Amino acid sequence: MASYRELLRGVKSRIHEIDVRELDAQRSGAAKSVVIDVREQDEVEQGIIPGAIHIPRGYLESRVEQYVPDLETPVVAYCAAGNRSAFAAETLQQMGYKNVTSLKGGFGAWKDGGFKFVVPRDLTPAQMKRYSRHVLIPEIGKEGQLKLLDSKVLIIGAGGLGSPSGYYLAAAGVGTIGIVDSDVVDESNLQRQILHNSTRIGQPKVESAKKTLEELNPDVKVIPYQERLTRDNVLNIFGEYDLIVDGSDNFPTRYLVNDAAVLLRKTVVHGSIFRFDGQVSVFKPFEGPCYRCVFPEPPPPELAPTCDEAGTLGILPGIVGLFEANEAVKLLLGIGDPLIGRLLMIDALAVEFRTLRLKRDPNCPVCGEHKRFSGFVDYEVSTAIPQPA
């Protein structure tokens, strides 16, 4: 039998403590430790040490390995006054963590010492519910969900590819979604462009898309651009966004998207479809090839029919658009292995997936070493095969 005081004295004799000054010095030094806040949710809402991970004491044992997989990583635990974290530190030692300390005086001492703290932004109760299946995943969690809510994604085209990617990006809680499309809804679109429906025929696609997405998720702000993407508006529009999802269906737009994205160093998630074949890639300027490195020149129009001319299986843009949405979310969260420098090729008839390695072209006119790019090429009045400047 031992009283709380005796227990605490015993624990403190078996762990190491550091004071707030030491922790502050450590945080600006090279050897970064992981700081774990073991307090309860309502305490954390009042303020937290910047960069600390919140794992309430009751969940410490079950969750810590998700956040700190390496037992060699130095860990500092803190609570309000330094007692709960002393017990937490002993538990972490028992779990095999080699370098554990408890913050003497806890968050109270940190705050009183005049050190910086932040009041964490949190998901609202409604958002906790809506995104609970994301929050449960350690790679996303609340922090990742807040990141998605802060993200701005521009979708080129509210058509076959933009429909599924827009739908799922909105459902996932990407907070701002811009959509560029000059068209109105046509009956022949409805076989695949699932953002729209029979009652919206004749309405601008961007307005129809906005209505669908904002009804699906009121957290999402949809910004419609009912215009064609041109060399005159592309830089202004792109400038507002973190990431571009290309769902365009023609070569001039793809080159324009590429060139503007390289110029502004914005990553483009690319998707394209033809009848039963789909392609997906991610073009991250200067880290992988750009669209022009891979496709230096557009094919002549007779070899590059659009969906309107060649037809497409209605399901295929759904598959390709969802791969685009998947890449977008990975890029926004900084998780996984995006398709940079790889081209995913999908054969919907054979159900075969192939991945081609793509290389940067040192002579690429937009991202190459000796780039000759000197402004946008006006494809609409140029010949079928424009020559790079």
Residues binding Zn ion (CB under 5 A): 290, 292-293, 364, 367
Tell me, rounded to whole angstroms, the distance of Cα 348 from its chain centroid: 27
Q: 189 with 196: CB under 8 angstroms? A: yes
Residue closer to Zn ion by CB (options 307, 367) is: 367
Q: Shortest Cβ distance from residue 258 to Zn ion (Å)? A: 8
Residue closer to Zn ion by CB (options 138, 296) is: 296
Instruction: For residues 345 and 355, give the distance between their C-alpha atoms in angstroms, rounded to a whole number.
Output: 6
Q: Which of 131, 133, 212, 206 is nearest to 174 (CA)?
A: 131
The DSSP bridge partners found for residue 18 are 103
CB-side neighbour CA atoms (13 Å) of 336 = 12
Residue closer to Zn ion by CB (options 16, 371) is: 371
Q: Shortest Cβ distance from residue 251 to Zn ion (Å)? A: 15
In the bound complex, which residue of the shown chain has the CB atom lying closest to Zn ion?
A: 364
Instruction: For residues 355 and 185, give the distance between their C-alpha atoms in angstroms, rounded to a whole number.
Output: 34
Residue closer to Zn ion by CB (options 293, 333) is: 293
Residue closer to Zn ion by CB (options 222, 364) is: 364
Using the structure block, give the residue that is written with the tokens 């774990």.
Answer: 36
Q: Shortest Cβ distance from residue 364 to Zn ion (Å)? A: 3
Q: Shortest Cβ distance from residue 179 to Zn ion (Å)? A: 26
Residue closer to Zn ion by CB (options 261, 367) is: 367
Residue 301: Cβ within 10 Å count: 14
Using the structure block, give the residue that is written with the tokens 């290309």.
Answer: 246
Q: Shortest Cβ distance from residue 369 to Zn ion (Å)? A: 10
Residue 285 is given by DSSP the state B
Q: 182 with 226: CB under 8 angstroms? A: yes
Residue 81 is given by DSSP the state S
Q: 344 with 280: CB under 8 angstroms? A: yes
Q: Shortest Cβ distance from residue 286 to Zn ion (Å)? A: 9
Residue closer to Zn ion by CB (options 244, 319) is: 244
Q: Shortest Cβ distance from residue 274 to Zn ion (Å)? A: 23
| 220: helix, strand or coil | coil
Residue closer to Zn ion by CB (options 60, 367) is: 367
Residue 387 is given by DSSP the state P
Q: Shortest Cβ distance from residue 156 to Zn ion (Å)? A: 18
The DSSP bridge partners found for residue 270 are 246, 281
Q: 64 with 55: CB under 8 angstroms? A: yes
Backbone φ and ψ for 37, nearest 5 degrees, come out as: -90, 115
